[in-house]
């Protein structure tokens, strides 16, 4: 009788243990799945946070660059307007100077015409355009001829136009002109210091003696 009871108790204990193990096994399955889901959710949330931070930093950089470009654009616009104003002022000043130059040129031409209309040459001098020319009959060197002219308030002739050159050529006389290369051989200068332009000359003129014929 005692053996039977013990066996029955032992079987009941074994059955309870088996049921407990099964119950714990069944309970542990859903808990593990929940933990996995929680971990995945936590990882996903962390990745979203990192992505959000990255986007925020990128947007801040973009906005900062945009603000810098906007500021630079405004500065360039101001500089452009200032340059435009300076250009307009210079253009206006140029026009005023051009007007004054035209006015003075007309006044000079008017006065020159008035002078040319009046007899201005001494006896024995020849007039061409607005200038007077004196031809000496004495033979002198270039230096002596220039000093002769200077003593009379004049100087050796400076040819300024083809017409003036033709006038002197038609005199049919060999004359000294105010041209020399004494300072530097081959570099011809007029007595007023200006450099010779060969526009009106034909070979072999001017020659080394500074004489025109």
CATH of the domain at 173: 3.10.100.10
pLDDT of residue 22: 52
Q: For 91-140, how does the pLDDT look when each residue is reduced to its tens digit (9 = 90+)? A: 999 999 999 999 999 998 888 777 776 667 888 888 888 788 888 888 89
**Within this chain, do residues 206 and 105 fall inside the same structural domain, yes or no?**
no
SS3 146: helix
**Within this chain, do residues 43 and 79 fall inside the same structural domain, yes or no?**
yes
pLDDT of residue 3: 45
- Four-residue CA torsion sign, 81, 83, 84, 90: positive
pLDDT of residue 31: 66
Residue-range definition of the domain harbouring residue 99 = 1-118
**Domain finish residue from 102, 118, 134:** 118
**Within this chain, do residues 7 and 79 fall inside the same structural domain, yes or no?**
yes
pLDDT of residue 73: 92
The residues of the chain scoring below 50 in pLDDT are 2-5, 21, 24-27, 213
DSSP letter assigned to residue 60? H
């Amino acid at each position: 009788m005692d053996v039977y009871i013990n066996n029955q108790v032992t079987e009941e204990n074994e059955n309870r243990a088996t049921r407990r193990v099964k119950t714990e096994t069944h309970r542990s399955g859903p808990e593990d799945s929940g933990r996995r889901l929680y971990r995945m959710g936590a990882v996903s949330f962390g990745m979203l946070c990192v992505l959000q931070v990255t986007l925020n930093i990128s947007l801040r950089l973009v906005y900062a660059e945009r603000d810098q470009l906007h500021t630079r654009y405004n500065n360039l616009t101001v500089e452009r307007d200032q340059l435009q104003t300076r250009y307009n002022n210079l253009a206006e000043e140029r026009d005023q100077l051009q007007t004054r130059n035209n006015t003075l040129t007309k006044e000079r031409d008017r006065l020159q015409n008035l002078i040319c209309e009046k007899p201005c040459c001494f006896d024995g001098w020849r007039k061409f355009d607005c200038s007077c020319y004196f031809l000496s009959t004495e033979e002198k060197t270039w230096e002596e001829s220039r000093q002769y002219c200077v003593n009379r308030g004049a100087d050796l002739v400076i040819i300024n136009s083809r017409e003036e050159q033709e006038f002197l050529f038609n005199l049919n006389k060999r004359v000294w002109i105010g041209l020399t290369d004494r300072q530097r051989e081959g570099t011809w200068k007029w007595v007023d210091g200006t450099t010779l332009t060969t526009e009106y000359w034909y070979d072999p003129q001017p020659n080394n003696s500074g004489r025109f014929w």
